[in-house]
Structure 1
Amino acid sequence: MGAMMAIGPLSTDMYLPALPVLSHELGATMSQTQITLTATLLGMALGPLLIGPLSDARGRRGPLLIGMSCYVVLSLLCLIAHSIGLLIVLRFAQGFAASAGIVIALAIARDLYAGRALARCVSLLMMVNFLAPIVAPVLGGLLLSFTSWRGVFVSLALFGIALVLVVAFGLSETLPPARRQDGGFSASLAEFRFLLFNGRFVGCALSLGFTFTAIFVYIASSPFIFENIYGLSPQSTSLVFGVIALGIPITAQLNARLLTRISAQELLIWGASAIALGSIALIAAVITGVGLIGVLPSCFLIVTSVGLITPNATALALSKARAAGSASALLGVLQIGLAVVVAPLIGLAGSKSALPMAATIAGSGLATLLTVVVLSRSGKGN
């Protein structure tokens, strides 16, 4: 299940070091090349809308096997792409297929666990999911030392094959026929409607969306900010990224332990308070011009808070669902959708000032806290 959660960040981050070479070989501009990343994220956002309800109606193993098999084929097709336009289309389809692993892994967790046990399971899954973006660019860089960017897609195809084998021979069905959803697409629409009018679910989903937006803006903007404004070398920037990112799996592991005596809702409030505090500190550091001595600790606090927010908000949201696949799908759409809309706007502001990045992260962090506070007051019945 952890490997299925990791397929998303591996698909998006492993080939990041190859973007300049890929751009040159396919005769594309950097902005066109970056669209291949956006297309993958868009596929991951839209895929769950089909795959989640399908898994509620047909069980988990069948849709998962189909999704992972398609992922393998599409990874191999990316390998032989001869134009940037074709690669963009294939990357969208690859992200769509990859979403099967993410959405069904969370649905399986909901099938097997409830309450604090569910929150602990999701916390451990997220720890694997958070480690993947740290490891993926390093693996991509190592691959490029003896192969081309096409070799990255060979590695992704091999990873997909491994998942197909594990699911086929090592994963039993977790949703028996008696618990499956009847009624087809109309039943899925009814479930989406139920969830969108459930205050607790919407609060959790939006808190995840605002948090992911803050982190996505940080990832997309900070390399330019660190290097162009604060004078760090690319190597130093990579080191800073790695150190800051390590806070997430550490916090996720701590969260799993704390759940034995502290509720998921209380830990969610702690995480939301941390991201809001870090966001305020970041924009203050940028406005006052104190430099990296103020910026880096603020970024660390913002990123580290994800280890508390994501697993607890996800577990609380899934606990309100009648159909775990549909709920997981809606969470993915709201989470990734906000970031896909907001992040390109930061690029339009340019990289000569850190203020657009800091202001967007601050807005997202405060929105996370506000959403969680409203959520905590909505009561258990909402």
Structure 2
Amino acid sequence: MRAQHRLPIVILGFLQTLSTLTIDVYLPAFPQIAAEFHATPSAVQLTFTAAMAGMVTGQLLVGPWSDGAGRRLPLVIVTLVHVGASLACAVAPSIEALAGARFAQGFASASIGVVALAVVRDLFAGPRMVRMLASMALISGMAIALGPLLGSQLLHLMDWRGVFLTLAAYGLVLGTITFLLIGETLPAHQRHRGGLTERLRGFGKPATDRPFVGLILVTGFAWGGMYAYLSSSSFVFQTLYGMTTTQYGLVFASHALLMLLGTQLGGRLTHRLRLPVIVVIATAGLLLSTVAILANALRGEPQLLTFLAPLWCFTFFLGLNTPCVQSLALSRHGSAAGSAAGMLNATRQGLGALTSPVSGLLGLAGLLPLAVIMTVAQALGFVTLWTVVRPLRLGRDEPPR
């Protein structure tokens, strides 16, 4: 990695921890939030869904904005918006107000992620882009591993409101660092001119590119299953399996570390295998993992280890899949990286917003609703890969510019 590129990658990696912590750090507090507001589990899960909806909106707006305004200014602004939204979460007087603040928090956190992807696309392409995304994931992935564990430890020192105050303070530090140290990666002569409406037309070309659309659906279905698990995991492990918040954080960390391992392996495999081949392997692994989860759930509530083992496989293959799909998709549309990254992440978060409350609405009396949702999502991703993306043909066609 060139020296002048090392600093942006490191800073972006830490900035992406904000997006990750927005999802993860308050998961252990779900039962506490439900108790304070006298809310049902499905109502608390809707605060998760609100963040997902905010993420979709933020990416669709901020991605094109960064194509016209450059990367640095939007990155600083949305980081500060995240700080304000975290403070609003901390003082929310009702479950409805918390959901509204979570929408704003999700808007900002996903905007950070989409601009970060666009910066990487500005600087790198192809297998090198996969390796840079893996380097960023090495930093942000630690937040996935430590988020719920950090949240559970914070809950020993403060209530759930204090968790959001801590997140606001962390965001303020990162926003200051971004303002002082991050550079611009999109030169003025490469920016899209015109107003936001004009820049939104940048969605047009990616939206008509069949492999690109298929790839964003593949990663969307993969993460739709993951978000369904995330929104249910606190209740599953703490209610069904009787874990403490600390035990739950440790279990969650084990999944996150396996995801991180898959991400790093994906970066290394680019030296040996073509990206479409890696995506095929990873997508098949995701489907087989969820089929195993479903098979166990159909036999009744499985033993903890029997439930965890296929979940470990699922998170590993998700880590292997994600940067490779991102690289394949973004490499096809470098001239509109912000818009393409926005579509990529918005699809992922949108499907997450649809799947995350379903298991709660179906009831959490067992693991079967969650297992069904995860399996259906991965089956759809696998079918989309072969019928829409057609991965074995990707190497034969020149990607559009």
Fold match (TM-score > 0.5): yes
Give the match for residue 225 of structure 2: 214
* 1:308 and 2:325 aligned: no
Alpha-carbon shift at residue 196 of structure 1 (Å): 1.3
Q: Which amino acid aligns with 1:271?
A: A
| Pairing partner for 2:359 from 346, 354, 359 | 346
Say if 1:204 and 1:129 are closer, same or farther in 2 by CA, change over 3 A. Answer: farther
Give the match for residue 266 of structure 1: 277
Answer whether contact 2:46 2:357 (CA < 8 A) is retained: no
* 3-state secondary structure, aligned to 2:356: helix
Give the match for residue 28 of structure 2: 17
Say if 1:328 and 1:289 are closer, same or farther in 2 by CA, change over 3 A. Answer: same
**Count of residue pairs the alignment pairs up:** 381
Report which stretch shifted further, 318-327 or 346-355. Answer: 346-355
- Where in structure 2 are the equivalents of 1:133-148 lying within 5 Å? 133-148=144-159
Alpha-carbon shift at residue 265 of structure 1 (Å): 1.7
The C-alpha deviation readout for 1:29-54, integer Å capped at 9, x for no partner, is: 54433322221221112111111111
* 3-state secondary structure, aligned to 1:122: helix
Report which stretch shifted further, 290-299 or 353-362. Answer: 290-299
Output the CA distance in 2 between the equivalents of 1:233 and 1:26: 22
Give the match for residue 333 of structure 1: 346
Answer whether contact 1:199 1:378 (CA < 8 A) is retained: no
The C-alpha deviation readout for 1:293-350, integer Å capped at 9, x for no partner, is: 6433222211110111110001111111121111111112111111211232222222
- Where in structure 2 are the equivalents of 1:106-117 lying within 5 Å? 106-117=117-128
- Where in structure 2 are the equivalents of 1:1-382 lying within 5 Å? 1-26=12-37, 28-222=39-233, 224-225=235-236, 231=241, 233-234=243-244, 237-288=248-299, 291-292=302-303, 294-321=306-333, 322-374=335-387, 375=389, 376-379=391-394, 380-381=397-398
Q: Which amino acid aligns with 1:364?
A: A
Q: Which amino acid aligns with 2:64?
A: P
Report which stretch shifted further, 284-293 or 148-157. Answer: 284-293
The C-alpha deviation readout for 1:353-379, integer Å capped at 9, x for no partner, is: 433322222222222222223321453
Output the CA distance in 2 between the equivalents of 1:237 and 1:144: 13
Output the CA distance in 1 between the equivalents of 2:158 and 2:297: 40
Answer whether contact 2:148 2:248 (CA < 8 A) is retained: no
The C-alpha deviation readout for 1:218-267, integer Å capped at 9, x for no partner, is: 233455555666x5544655544332332111111122222223222221
Unmatched tracts of structure 2, length 5 or more: 1-11
Output the CA distance in 2 between the equivalents of 1:232 and 1:167: 41
Give the match for residue 3 of structure 2: none
The C-alpha deviation readout for 1:189-231, integer Å capped at 9, x for no partner, is: 33212111111211110011110011122233455555666x5
Unmatched tracts of structure 1, length 5 or more: none
Output the CA distance in 2 between the equivalents of 1:41 and 1:228: 24
* 3-state secondary structure, aligned to 1:285: helix
**What's the TM-score, normalizing by structure 2?**
0.87
In percent, how many aligned pairs have the same letter?
A: 34
Say if 1:59 and 1:88 are closer, same or farther in 2 by CA, change over 3 A. Answer: same
Say if 1:12 and 1:211 are closer, same or farther in 2 by CA, change over 3 A. Answer: same
**What's the TM-score, normalizing by structure 1?**
0.91
Answer whether contact 1:110 1:324 (CA < 8 A) is retained: yes
